[in-house]
Structure 1
């Protein structure tokens, strides 16, 4: 076999296509002595050829399923290719400098057993180093800040030079403008001595604001009215019945001895308080609608509300100091074999509207507790009357001044209106049937619960000189 002349040494070795015997490589099986033809792929002569790539990971090796993309220059085919890929935490990108410094060419061979050929494909070598994504964002942010600082410094230098030129060669008007701008400029370094004072003032103001908010929340929570929904979109959503009287108390109210009565007059006599015109009118109206006493669930609940209002009015008339057993006897009203007041009602009344005196068995109703009791009575009347209630009628039953009861309705978020023409006509006809004076009817006022809920502002106490 003849030998080919040796090529001269150079930094890069070139491999040329050859079909001579010198480039024929014997197979691994020496007994068979099969010959493999080596040839260079012609794909590299086509445009947009990328081929495969050899990669080195000197630091961190990614998962084998990590996808990579090989990028080549669109115009210059000799430009260095870039290999890039990423995972959730890392980014991999080949270094242009390290790839260009490689002093040899790489080829990948594809051996075809069927044709006994070894095709060599030119490939590129890439050294990939990882970059942490979070650190990359921090580095980019730092570079951006440095760039902004440089621009700011350059702007300040340019401004100082311009001011110097203006002061030296500018007109009087220009010099005055430069001096005014200099006076208006604040030097942060010159304000360092007031930093501690500013911090102290801010801290004091924050404490004062926090205390004011806490005080406002405390005053709001201590209002003598039932819990309410400030975001209500209808009057029905403002006050929940279960927040005024619990379901346990309401369902424990006995009504059988009232519904089984043969007449509304007999039913009125079995109420805890039979002298309330507000309640008596509603009982008579209920008997007119259901003369046999067979009420549906809705009417039963409305009747229980009236009985509970009767408990509250009787309790209001006998306030001040009282013992639990005396209160039970007072509210039971055992006429006509009526049932006694349930313990759940007694416990609820004493818990909401009284304070127990230390060392005694007596419960005391304070001025605040009495106002709270009146607020609960007014709220229940609003719920029963579909959120519109006559003030005069209720004030007479409670033996309270109309003006004070009007303030209570306002504190519940009600608006005080005159009677409409239709309401005035109905009131006039009822008064004529009962033989009452119709002169005072025009002076009556109605409390209407409206939304959005608006409460009157608290009155400020006048400071004495």
Structure 2
């Protein structure tokens, strides 16, 4: 195999390599490698090459300036001085002659080209002319103006900021700003803080199963689950809300009627629906009546005391500096109570439910309900084609119906950076 390789090298075509020294000696310019930051000229733009006036020394003989004018923009670049592209590489371009099969190498200096918009070249001159105009105007005002005008001119001069005087304090300001900004929280810290402040039940961020995100034992303790009086509903198959404290829930009524109408009662489902009803009733207690035993008993009815005590512990706060009032609702605790309801409902609906199912029951706006579902990590999606067919509804009505879907991995929306744009 090695002999065949040597044979192919000896019998193959020969390519001549040559360095274009003759072009350099003859003064033939080019080629150049140009770097255009931001904008490039059209490909047919002609560039002129110039040499500096003074060319003493061997390195100075290689200095070149290139220039082009497109009518609106001027392009100027050079391979020396401050505007040059500082590098430690030497570039050459290889040119192959197809007839002679000869490759010629030519030096290609790198030139950084800067652009100048011609219409803005006189901006500085215009600015100076404006300054001259105001100086002349002030001189006329001081010479012939009224006392009020003279006071205005002096006031403007006193309040004028001399930028040059700020140079001495620029470093101090920079250090002060740097010290303040280092104390600002990072994006990760802001997100972690926002997640902690969410008015939602305890969750498992690392859950791999959707049912483990909001575990039922954290929503309803085993002790609460055992004392839910579900047997009171077994004989009320058509009117279950008559024995429950909250009688205004269409969602709870329809779900309980369906659960009680079957021969083998789903006791687990009945218990969860009753617990949601207890939560709805608790949310209707006026804030000023939370410590009024008579009002609470009238609204909550026969709710077991253990469940009621846990409601107070989870969904109310103790106001500071108040001896008479022991419990109060805050906006956050109210939202927490609603999220508790939605979390149990999601468990009942296999974590995919109509987001408007309890909007009327709880007297809430749909935007508020969707906001709370999103805070829990749900996605608010439109109905699928299969769901539209099952419900047998029009496309216009389907657009108003949204599904709240909880999936893994659990993700929360990013915190808002500021108020909405008006």
TM-score tier after normalising by the smaller chain length:
0.5 to 0.7
The equivalent residue for 2:254 is 281
The equivalent residue for 1:458 is 415
Tell me: CA distance 1:287–1:463, structure 2 relative to 1, closer, same or farther (3 Å).
Answer: closer
The equivalent residue for 1:241 is 216
Tell me: CA distance 1:202–1:439, structure 2 relative to 1, closer, same or farther (3 Å).
Answer: closer
The equivalent residue for 2:293 is 325
Tell me: CA distance 1:228–1:173, structure 2 relative to 1, closer, same or farther (3 Å).
Answer: farther
Tell me: CA distance 1:263–1:308, structure 2 relative to 1, closer, same or farther (3 Å).
Answer: closer
Q: Contact 1:316 / 1:370 at 8 angstroms: preserved in 2?
A: yes
1:348 has 2:323 as partner: no
Q: Distance in 1 between matches of 2:318 and 2:295?
A: 14
| CA displacement, residues 367-424 of structure 1 (integer Å, 9 cap, x when unaligned) | 2221221111111111111101112221011111112111111221212223334433
Tell me: CA distance 1:257–1:428, structure 2 relative to 1, closer, same or farther (3 Å).
Answer: same
3-state SS in 1 of match to 2:359: helix
Q: Contact 1:309 / 1:377 at 8 angstroms: preserved in 2?
A: yes
The equivalent residue for 1:159 is none
1:217 has 2:185 as partner: no
Tell me: CA distance 1:270–1:440, structure 2 relative to 1, closer, same or farther (3 Å).
Answer: farther
Q: Contact 2:382 / 2:398 at 8 angstroms: preserved in 1?
A: no
TM-score by length of 2: 0.53
3-state SS in 1 of match to 2:360: helix
- Report the CA distance between 1:209 and its aligned residue: 4.4
Q: Contact 1:331 / 1:341 at 8 angstroms: preserved in 2?
A: no
Q: Distance in 1 between matches of 2:277 and 2:284?
A: 11
The equivalent residue for 2:96 is none
- Aligned residues, how many? 269
Q: Contact 1:328 / 1:341 at 8 angstroms: preserved in 2?
A: no
In the alignment, structure 2 segments of 5+ residues that lack a partner are 1-56, 64-78, 88-172
3-state SS in 2 of match to 1:355: coil
Q: Distance in 1 between matches of 2:304 and 2:192?
A: 35
Q: Distance in 2 between matches of 1:292 and 1:170?
A: 99
| CA displacement, residues 325-374 of structure 1 (integer Å, 9 cap, x when unaligned) | 246414543xxxxxx22222112211222123321145221222212211
The equivalent residue for 1:372 is 336
Q: Distance in 1 between matches of 2:408 and 2:200?
A: 17
Give the 5 Å matches for 1:352-363: 352-357=314-319, 358-363=322-327
- Report the CA distance between 1:215 and its aligned residue: 4.9
Give the 5 Å matches for 1:165-314: 207-209=183-185, 214-258=189-233, 261-289=234-262, 291=263, 293=265, 299-314=266-281
Q: Distance in 1 between matches of 2:337 and 2:275?
A: 12
3-state SS in 2 of match to 1:389: strand
Q: Distance in 2 between matches of 1:350 and 1:327?
A: 15
Tell me: CA distance 1:324–1:256, structure 2 relative to 1, closer, same or farther (3 Å).
Answer: farther
Tell me: CA distance 1:463–1:279, structure 2 relative to 1, closer, same or farther (3 Å).
Answer: closer
- Report the CA distance between 1:200 and its aligned residue: 9.8
Q: Distance in 2 between matches of 1:416 and 1:408?
A: 11
The equivalent residue for 2:381 is 417
Q: Contact 1:313 / 1:398 at 8 angstroms: preserved in 2?
A: yes
Tell me: CA distance 1:356–1:213, structure 2 relative to 1, closer, same or farther (3 Å).
Answer: same
TM-score by length of 1: 0.48
Tell me: CA distance 1:287–1:459, structure 2 relative to 1, closer, same or farther (3 Å).
Answer: same
Q: Distance in 2 between matches of 1:198 and 1:393?
A: 56
Q: Distance in 2 between matches of 1:414 and 1:204?
A: 37
3-state SS in 2 of match to 1:305: helix
The equivalent residue for 1:114 is none
- Report the CA distance between 1:456 and its aligned residue: 2.2
Q: Distance in 1 between matches of 2:188 and 2:398?
A: 45
Q: Distance in 2 between matches of 1:278 and 1:230?
A: 29
Q: Contact 1:327 / 1:346 at 8 angstroms: preserved in 2?
A: no
